[in-house]
Structure formats: C-alpha cells, structure tokens
Structure 1
Amino acid sequence: MPATIFLFPNLVLSSEQTKRLGKAVAPASLREFLANCDSFRCTDVFANPALSGFTASQWLWMLLSQRDTLAPTAPYTWKGLGGPKVDQEFWSLNGYRFEDGRLESSSDTFDIDDECDLRDLFSPLARRFNFDVQVLDGRFFFVRKQAWNTICVPWEAQRGKLKTPADGENASQWEELHQEIESALASSELNRRRNQEGKPRLDGFWVSGGGFDEQLLPYTQIRCLLSDDPYAKGVAEAAGISKNYIVSPKKGWPDCPEGDRLCVMTDFEDPRVKEDSELWTKTWDQTIEKLRTYMEGCVGFEKYHPRLVACSGMRVSIVERTKEPAKGFSLFRKKYDHAADWLSAGNL
C-alpha cells in the first residue's frame, strides 16, 4: 500500500515544552487524524550530540539517496536552486554573529550590495585555499576541483551552539579559513553599512555541507516531492524524481505515477509555535486541514496511507497507518492514540 509521507522538521517537543503545553499537547484535530494510525516508532538518526538539529535534512537524505553517509547539503542546494551541473566540490557559506560565544544566524542570502562587497572579500581568501566563489540567488558557495578532506558539522547543527572544531586531513585549513574570514569582516566597512541599514552583524561564515553533485543510484521509489526547500529539491532530482514532479506545496500533488509521495511540512519551523498552547492548537487545526486536502488530492487516494515523520534533536518519530481500518460500524473500530508519544518521540 503506497504511503503519503509528511516530513515535519523541528516538530518533536522537549520535555519542558511538553509540560508547558499541558493538556493542549495533543490537540483534538491531531488525535482524530491519527486515530487509524496503528504503528508508532522512534529511530535515532545520530549518536553524536554535535549533529543535533540536522535530523530532518539527514533523514530526507537517507530516505531518497538510500545512503547512511552524512548528507552533503551544498551541492544539492546548488542543484535545487537551478544551478548548472559543475563537476566540482561545493561548500555552502552561512553568515553568523557571535552571541555569548555561540554562533547565531545572521543571514544565508544576500542582496546585491552585500553580494558585491562579499565577493571582493571572499575572492582573495578563496584563491589561497584553491577555491572559486560562486553565487546563486544571493547564496554563496566555495567550489574546488579536488575534494577538501574536511569533516565539519552542518550549519543546521552548528547554529545556536559554541563553535564545533573540524576533523579530517584538512581540518587545520578549515580552521584557518574561518579565522581569515572573521578577520577580514572585522576590518571591512560591510558591517558599518549593514548596521545603518538595520541588518544583523556578520562576524563570520560557516563553511560546511561539502560534496559533489552525484546521481544517487539506485533511484528512489518515491514518485514526487512537495517542497520549496532548494536542498530537498536538489536531492530529489538527483535521486531520480522528475523535475515535473518536484513542485511547491501550494500547487498540490502533480499528476505522477502511482507510488509513495513525500511532502515537507514547514508549519512548525517557527519555534514560537511550540511555546504557546493557543498558537500550537490553532496551527495544528490548520495543518490537519492541509493534510486532509493532500490525502484527498492523491489519485486513488483511498489506496494511500499517511506516514507522519516528526524531527528534532537527534531522533525521528514516526506514526502511520499500516493496515486498512476494519469494515463495519465506525463505533466498533479500534481507535489509536499515539499523538502525545509521537510528538515527544517517546520521551514522555
């Protein structure tokens, strides 16, 4: 029975958030939607706390690529943005500022004024480390012909934490590059202008996600993807999903062959949603309406079963319907109540 897979980044609740939400933790609309979901399970994606926060991107990579290596986000973000095929290794740059020693996000994309200044700043530094600078849709990338043997945590996992050291043969180069970027920014006029324009300060750039754009064989059996995220779109295309079947969630399902479908839900990416019980319940009511619309929009939707995947920290929590509900009066059908366990990844 084909599945309609809904991936929810940043959804799993911490124990503190669960207590704060109280009785509102499992809204009635969600419990009703999951009443026929007979299967619940949790899976650890990472064992290393340094990678906490990267779970959704890693799980999507493992699902589509059928590989368990650390996801190389940079080349597939480039691909998902519509960048041309380049036989070089790509690394993403994400701007950060220091807050009490922690790295907080300043910006991932830049307007034309910042882009010009940053090109001038990056170009001489990049050449010293055998990189070229590429920019697409305001996003910066370093590219090089030879693999840079460096292992570093992805920006999604680094954000909001103390700086995590790199590992690997070229780890010292990676550290030196970051120091050079921080020094160049400290002495440039860029931050003075950004401050006048009300933009956040740039103290440095996190270089991560390195890898080459490869065709991910064998191709996935998932037939289509609903997502606006460039990385997700790039991985899906490399895994064999036709561009015609990679569309925005606003457009609904494309007319694709029968098989599993995947939708990335962004309703809970704003952390404030999990801090307010009224907003939490309202968001779930709206989300359930979307889920019902997506389920009904599948061709032959009665054959499809929902699989909801919640991510946060280092785990994924999955609830799904694996068998058809018993026929007969609905009053006598077994109802399941996995909502609270699913939202807390079994950590209640």
Structure 2
Amino acid sequence: MKRYLILEDGTVFEGTAFGSDDASIGEIVFNTSMTGYQEILSDPSYCGQIVTMTYPLIGNYGINSDDFESIEPAVKGMVVRELAEFPSNFRSKSTLCELFKMKGIPGISGIDTRKLTRLIRSKGSIKGILTAAGEEVDVEEVVSKLKLTPLQTDQVAQVSTARPYPSPGRGKRVVLIDYGMKHGILRELNNRDCDVIVVPYNTSSQEILAWGPDGVMLSNGPGDPKDVEECVQVVGELIGQVPLFGICLGHQLFARACGADTFKLKFGHRGGNHPVRNLETGKIEITSQNHGYAVDEDTLQGTRLKVTHQALNDGTNEGLSHLDHPAFTVQYHPESSPGPEDSNYLFDSFIEMMSANRKEQQYA
C-alpha cells in the first residue's frame, strides 16, 4: 500500500508502506551504516526519531535473535530505498517487515533516500510524519499539524528500566545507570566478569553509593541532556566518590555536571565509520556514533576537564577526562553494535581505573 513521508517544510515523498499500518510522527535523522539495521532500530537512543538508512538495500539478511540492543525498539519509524522481502542468512528468523508489524513500527520504502539525506544535511534534522498506510492526506493540513506538534522531551523516562536488576559476576561491582542503555554495554562489562547492577535513570546518588560499587557507568540514551537536569545533579554528586565511565548521553551529562554546556548539532553523527583522534596517543579510531548533541568545548574553561578525543569530520568534542578524579567519558560507542571495535579497550581502561582506585583507598 501507498504511504507518504511528509516533512514540516512541506516536502513530500511517496513510497510503499511496510510494517505497521499506523501513522507516526518523529524527528527525521539519517544513519550512514552499511550494515547493522537491527542494532540501529533497537537502539533506545533513537526514541522519538524516524531513521533514514542511507545504504540503499535494507533487510537483506533478515532479523535474528542475537543482535537486538533492547527488548522493545523505541524508534518511531524507518525510511529505506529498497526493502528486501526475502532475506538470506543462516541466522535469520524473520523479515524486517514482520518485525515492524509485530512491534507496531511503520516504515516506508521506495523513496529517494539520497535526496532526503541531502535535505537533512542542508536544513538540519526536521520533524516528519509517516502517514497511515493507504491513507490519502491533505498535505497543507498535515504540515500545519506537524508545525504545532512538539518533539518529545521525556525520551529517557520512556526507555529507562523501571526498577533495578542485577547481571551477576564475580569481578568489579559496577552500577550502570540506564538512560537508554544499549545491551552491548552490559555485554562488555559482563565479558570482564563485572558484577553489574542496572538502575533507573532517576536513582539517587545515595542509593547508588549504598550498593558499594567499584565504579559507575553512565549509559547512552536519547534526547537533549538539558531535558534531564535531575540526572546532571546525580552525576555531579558521584564525581569524586567513585570512578566513572560515561558513554554518549552519559558523556554529555558528565560534562554538564562539571559546568560545561552542550548544544544541538545540525544533523548529528549517526553511523559506523566516524573517525576520532585519541589526543593522548595520536591514534585514529573508527567509531560507531549516534547522537544529536555535543559538548561545547568553548565552555570547558574552569571545569577541571581535559579533552581526550576529537572528531575529525567536524572537530567536535568526543572525549573528556577529569583532572582531579577518576572519571572519563566518550561521545561515541566503544561497545560498537553496530560498527568497528577500535575503541573496545576503553572498557579495560575502566577496569584498570577501578582497580587503581581500590588500591589507593586501601593505602590511604
């Protein structure tokens, strides 16, 4: 059946509906990854967004039971050039269309994704609607509705766990604050035998420290860090109390807790091929990224923060460390999923930081 993608500037794309028949409104963004659509659609950081895949053929290896980054996808929809109806892969259990139908997610295929991507790069991320399948619409009426419809600001609350739960191990105890955690982060901690306790985004610092953690992980998550100022306060109370490692939204919350500011990027960084320079080693790491906001380096003066990583594409900040306390963060995803694993060593660095801090406390 026919479906339209209509943007708030009046641009209309006509294509073929797949997945849910329902309409959906969200922020239109694009991802440049050539593979990994299953991890992308299940990444909670896409809550409230309709994702355009720039690679032209999507769904060709189907959906499997191993590559989900969350149990319930939070993405508002997906835009593809060509949808593979008959996937071929030994791990495939269903098609992308079948998954979208089951989860109530609408999609559109058969549109010019290059044109859409150029438009987003020119105008910035923009609101849009995937209309109901088979529905004829009044474009002017839809555009007026879009302009009056605000984007969500409670995405973190939507995707965070509702209650604490353990992921047991016999190594370091890590409290992982779930702002919209990808399961890849939990996997990497478990691979290092960490005894992980995952807690909701609004857990107090007193509750976190009561678990007696060796370290605290600040997860990735969706939306604007300025929408969750209560989380900034908690992170500020944890700095200096326990070693910290932050990823993506966790990186931004850490920076804000230290007095820095954040800003919205024009069209964000989303893909599995973003080059980042490690300023401490001089090496270039190819990274997986998914974020629409960044730390403003011009506001770092007086924060006691040191810049450790920098994006080579646009020079934005990609990593920070604290000069006085055991804490470091990165804007990108060292757990990958999807994408390269160049930065996987950062989890080992976190383990080493926790060990060094424990020794320091023993001899203090």
TM-score, normalised to structure 1, is 0.30
Look at both structures and tell me which one has the larger radius of gyration over its CA atoms.
1
Q: Which has the higher contact order (CA 8 A, sep 6+)?
A: 1
Structure showing the higher strand proportion among its residues: 2
> Would you tell me which structure has more helix in proportion to its own residues?
1
* TM-score, structure 2 normalization: 0.29
